[in-house]
A = this chain, B = another copy of it.
Amino acid sequence: MEELLSKRTRYPTSDAMSKFVLAQDPEVISFAGGLPDNNLFPIEEIKLCQEEMLEKEGKIVFQYSSSIGDINLRGWIGEEFFIKWGKKVPVENIIITEGSQQALDLIGKLFLDPDDYALIESPGYLGTIQAWRIFQPKLVGISQDENGINLEELEEIIKELPSPPKVLYVVPDFSNPAGTCLPLERRKRLIEIAERYKFYIVEDLAYSLLAYDKDTLPPLLTLKDSEYIITIGSFSKILSPGLRTGFIIAPKKLIRPLRLLKEASDLCCGTYAQKLIYYFCKNGFLKNHLEKLRKIYKEKRDKLREALENYFLNKATWNNPEGGFFFFLVFPEDINCYDLAEKALENKTSFVPGEEFFVNGKGKNTARISFSQINLEDIFEGVKRLLRAWEDLQK
């Protein structure tokens, strides 16, 4: 029967994510998932918004709605999401999606034919690799240093490719999994490179509003009105992933083909969820909620850094994430982090082996350690267990 399956299903698959992220044992202290903290969902404010929404909107919240998304939510995103960087985005450039994952699926559908080149920062977001891989492009990783994607390498690789790339994926702020931030100069130069070689930058702002130390740098979208920038964002990390709402901001000529692909994919996003998020935002609850998130995630970040400094100082190196959810650990070359993750599970803790985030088999000595979902008081114990796993691996 397998011969009936499409060629796009024949990519190599890994069970690492389900194995380590979905470890169901309640005794496991998990650094694996990049999920927001369950305890932080603003349930009381959401209930207020529900009441207001049902009273004002009535039964149409249960009906189909526009395939490009709720006009009020798109309007709010256009007016408010980028306002701290002095930018407003016209509503006609915005499409609402089922989280940023669907944004990636639609962008893959829009651009990628088999054997097209698609670039991704390396290590890079696994969801992007998964979304684009099924369109059978040649996925090429561009290495990151402590300041994000390496632009010299990017240009060298582009020059060597037999055909120009169509898209490049970057998370400019607090990237997943590396936790890096792209400095302002690199942002500007990246836009220049995209315009010179005529490919689309897909910048993912999933964590951009979760800065813990200083203001987030301006997104690429706010730096230049370029025809080569596509911006995606999500309410998953800053409000609720269970409401599945993200967005694409794209040059206007891409909106009609994106709309047609969105209609083909699922007709429209959930009306109820979109309108609920709109009421939450327009009531000013998001602003207060973000302040709370930043305070609590910063405490967790600080605690995890302290624990890593206590237990892993000469065993690995790591970044200093100024926002987002992730530390990225680099061990000596002889440490296999998949084996370490197995030992970690035996010791009732969990993380994601870094090699999952590479498209070229590299990163076997790396690990993504997330502090978003773990309880503050469990962090030291979790890192102690990681240390025991590391010791077990030496045996």
Residues of chain A touching chain B, judged by Cβ–Cβ distance below 8 Å, are 1, 4-9, 13, 35-36, 38-39, 41, 43, 46-47, 50, 54, 58-65, 97-99, 101-102, 105, 109-113, 116, 127, 130-131, 133-135, 166, 198-200, 227, 236, 240-244, 253, 257, 260-261, 263-273
Contact = CB atoms under 8 A, between A and B. Distances in A.
A326 to B, nearest CB: 16
A395 B272 CA distance: 46
A230 to B, nearest CB: 11
Given A35-B63, A98-B266, A131-B264, 10 more contacts: A6-B112, A39-B59, A43-B58, A43-B59, A60-B242, A61-B242, A98-B98, A101-B265, A101-B267, A105-B266
B264 A133 contact: yes
A176 B8 CA distance: 30
A112 to B, nearest CB: 6
Contact of A243 (B4, B166, B270): B270
A244 B99 CA distance: 14
Nearest to A273: B270
Contacts of A227: 1
Contacts of A200: 4
B110 A9 contact: yes
A261 B9 contact: yes
A111 B54 contact: no
Contact of A54 (B36, B47, B99): B47
A105 B38 CA distance: 31
**Interface residue SS majority, chain A:** helix
What 4 A-B pairs come out closest when comparing CB atoms? A242-B271, A62-B240, A41-B62, A98-B266
Contact of A62 (B5, B54, B242): B242
Contacts of A64: 35, 236, 241-242
21 contacts: A4-B199, A5-B257, A60-B242, A61-B242, A62-B240, A62-B241, A63-B240, A64-B241, A97-B266, A99-B266, A101-B266, A101-B267, A127-B267, A130-B263, A134-B261, A241-B267, A242-B272, A243-B270, A244-B269, A270-B270, A272-B273
Given A6-B111, A6-B112, A7-B113, A41 B54 contact: no
Contacts of A240: 62-63, 272
